[in-house]
Amino acid sequence: MPPRTSTIEGVPRNGISNVVDVRPSKILHPAKGYPQQSKVSMIPTIANTLGALQIGVIFATCLFGVITVQLHHYSQTFEDDRKSFRILAAAVWILELIHTICICAEVYRGTVIFYGRPTEYQRFPLMGGATLLGGLITMLVQIFFCLRVWKALPNPARYIGAFCAGLTVLRAVGGIYLGVQIVRSQTLQEYRELNNWVISTLLASGAAIDVAIAVSMLFFLVQKREKGLGTVTRLIDRLVAYTIRTGLLTSITAVAVLIVFQTMPETYVWAALYVVLAKLYSNTLYSALNERSRLRQVMVESSQDLDSRGRRPTNHRSGLSDFQSRRQEISIQMKTTVIRDDEEKASPFGHRSGQTLPDTGF
Q: Does residue 72 lie within any of the structural domains?
A: yes
Q: Does residue 304 lie within any of the structural domains?
A: no
pLDDT digits (tens, 9 = 90+) for 59-72: 999 999 999 999 99
Which pLDDT belongs to residue 168? 94
Interatomic CA distance for residues 299 and 291, integer angstroms: 13
Interatomic CA distance for residues 249 and 279, integer angstroms: 11
Say which range, 14-23, 105-114, 215-224, has the weakest mean pLDDT: 14-23
Q: Is the pLDDT of residue 260 over 60?
A: yes
What is the DSSP pairing of strand 6-8 with strand 35-37? unpaired
Interatomic CA distance for residues 272 and 218, integer angstroms: 31
CA distances from 124 to 129, 285, 325 (A): 9, 29, 73
**Band of residue 176 on the pLDDT scale cut at 50, 70, 90:** very high
Contact call for residues 104 and 57 (beta carbons, < 8 A):
yes
Interatomic CA distance for residues 272 and 56, integer angstroms: 4
Please count the structural domains in the chain.
1
pLDDT digits (tens, 9 = 90+) for 82-139: 999 999 999 999 999 999 999 999 999 988 988 888 777 788 889 999 999 999 999 9
Interatomic CA distance for residues 183 and 167, integer angstroms: 25
Q: Does residue 109 lie within any of the structural domains?
A: yes
Whichever domain contains 169, its CATH number is: 1.20.1070
Residue type, 95: L
Is the Cα torsion angle 279, 282, 283, 284 positive or negative in sign? positive
Name, of 129-138, 190-199, 231-240, 262-271, the range with top average pLDDT: 129-138
Contact call for residues 129 and 102 (beta carbons, < 8 A):
yes
Say which range, 150-154, 181-185, 196-200, 263-267, has the weakest mean pLDDT: 150-154
Q: Does residue 195 lie within any of the structural domains?
A: yes
Q: Does residue 257 lie within any of the structural domains?
A: yes
Q: Does residue 218 lie within any of the structural domains?
A: yes
Interatomic CA distance for residues 123 and 342, integer angstroms: 55
Q: What is the residue range of 114's domain?
A: 49-290
Which pLDDT belongs to residue 59? 96
**Band of residue 24 on the pLDDT scale cut at 50, 70, 90:** very low
If DSSP codes are grouped into helix, strand and coil, which group holds residue 6? strand
Number of alpha helices (DSSP H) and beta strands (DSSP E) in the chain? 9, 4
Partners of residue 11 on adjacent β-strands: 8
If DSSP codes are grouped into helix, strand and coil, which group holds residue 4? coil
Cα torsion 53, 58, 62, 68 to 10°: value is 80
Interatomic CA distance for residues 171 and 313, integer angstroms: 61
Residue count of the chain, please give it.
362
Mean pLDDT of the region 330-358: 40
If DSSP codes are grouped into helix, strand and coil, which group holds residue 158? coil
Mean pLDDT of the region 315-336: 42
Under DSSP, the state recorded for 54 is H
Q: Model-level pTM?
A: 0.71
If DSSP codes are grouped into helix, strand and coil, which group holds residue 90? helix
Q: Does residue 296 lie within any of the structural domains?
A: no
Which pLDDT belongs to residue 215? 87
Nearest to 125 by CA among 108, 145, 143: 108
Q: Is the pLDDT of residue 183 over 70?
A: yes
Partners of residue 27 on adjacent β-strands: 36
